[in-house]
Chain A
Amino acid sequence: MLSLNKKDFGLLLVVAILTLAAPIILNPFPANSGMAQFNAGYPDLMQRFVIFGIFAIGFNILFGLTGYLSFGHAAFLGVGSYSAVWMMKLLSMNVIPAILLSVIVAGLFSVVIGYVSLRRSGIYFSILTLAFAQMSFNLAYSVLTPITNGETGLQISLSDPRILDGANAPSYPNLFGAQMNSAATVELGNWIFTFSVGYYLCAVIMLAAFYISIRVFRSPFGMMLRAVKSNQQRMNYTGLNTKPYTLAAFVISGMYAGLAGGLLASMDPLAGAERMQWTASGEVVLMTILGGAGTLLGPVLGAGFIKYFENIFSKINDNVLHGWFSFMPDGFEDFLVTVIHPFVGKGWNLTLGLLFMLVVIFLPGGLVEGGQRFGRVFRRKDRNAGSVEADAAKQRNQTAAE
Chain B
Amino acid sequence: MAILEVKNVGKRFGGLQALSDVNLSVAENSVHAIIGPNGAGKSTLLNCLVGKLIPDTGSVMFDGQSVLGRKPYEINQMGISRVFQTPEIFGDLSVQENMLIPCFAKRDGSFQMNALTSVTSQRDILDKAEEMLVEMKLADKRHMHAASMSRGDKRRLEIAMCLSQNPRLLLLDEPTAGMARADTNNTIDLLKQIKEERDITIAIIEHDMHVVFSLAERITVLAQGTPLVEDTPDKIKGHPKVREAYLGESQDAA
Name A's B-contacting residues (CB within 8 A). 3-5, 212, 215-216, 218-224, 226-227, 229-231, 233-241, 244-245, 248, 252, 402
Contacts and interface: CB of A to CB of B under 8 A. Distances in A.
A220 B90 contact: no
Contacts of A5: 120
A241 B111 contact: yes
Contacts of B105: 238-240
Contacts of A236: 71-73, 76
> Which 6 A-B residue pairings sit nearest by Cβ, starting from the closest?
A239-B76, A244-B111, A230-B90, A230-B92, A221-B115, A239-B109
B37 to A, nearest CB: 27
A223 B165 contact: no
Indicate the member of B76, B111, B119 with the most A CB atoms within 10 Å: B111
B206 interface: no
A390 to B, nearest CB: 20
Given A3-B118, A219-B115, A237 B92 contact: no
A253 B71 CA distance: 28
A310 B115 CA distance: 34
21 contacts: A3-B118, A215-B116, A218-B118, A219-B117, A219-B118, A220-B100, A220-B119, A220-B125, A221-B115, A224-B101, A227-B101, A230-B92, A233-B84, A233-B88, A234-B88, A237-B72, A237-B88, A239-B74, A239-B76, A240-B73, A240-B109
A231 B111 contact: no
Contacts of A234: 88-90, 161
B113 A241 contact: no
Contacts of A245: 111
B174 interface: no
Contacts of A222: 115
Contacts of B90: 226-227, 230-231, 234
A221 B97 CA distance: 12
B161 A238 contact: yes
A230 B94 CA distance: 11
Interface string B69-103: 00111101100011010001111110001001110
B213 to A, nearest CB: 28
B121 interface: yes
A244 B73 CA distance: 13
A185 B113 CA distance: 45
B66 interface: no
Contact of B115 (A3, A215, A237): A215
A238 B165 contact: yes
B76 A219 contact: no
Given A220-B112, A226-B92, A237 B76 contact: yes
Interface in B117-149: 117-122, 125
Contacts of A248: 111, 113, 115
A352 B125 CA distance: 46
Nearest to B149: A402
B76 A238 contact: yes
A237 B77 CA distance: 9
Nearest to B92: A230
B50 interface: yes
B149 to A, nearest CB: 9
B198 interface: no
B150 A402 contact: yes
Contacts of A218: 118-120
B76 A216 contact: no
Contacts of A3: 118, 121
B144 to A, nearest CB: 10
B246 interface: no
Contact of B91 (A215, A230, A237, A240): A230
Given A215-B118, A230-B91, A239 B107 contact: yes
A11 to B, nearest CB: 15
B89 A231 contact: yes
B91 A219 contact: no
Given A221-B115, A234-B161, 9 more contacts: A5-B120, A219-B117, A220-B112, A220-B114, A227-B101, A230-B93, A235-B101, A238-B161, A240-B73
Contact of A219 (B89, B102, B114, B125): B114
Contacts of B116: 212, 215-216, 219
A5 B120 CA distance: 9
A399 B117 CA distance: 36
Contacts of B112: 220-221
B93 A226 contact: yes
Nearest to B78: A239
Contacts of A239: 73-74, 76-77, 105, 107-109, 165
B73 A231 contact: no
Contacts of A233: 84, 88
B139 to A, nearest CB: 14
A223 B50 CA distance: 25
Contact of B82 (A221, A231, A237): A237
A234 B99 CA distance: 12
B50 to A, nearest CB: 7
A5 B118 CA distance: 10
A5 B108 CA distance: 31
B99 to A, nearest CB: 11
Contacts of B107: 239
Contacts of B109: 239-241
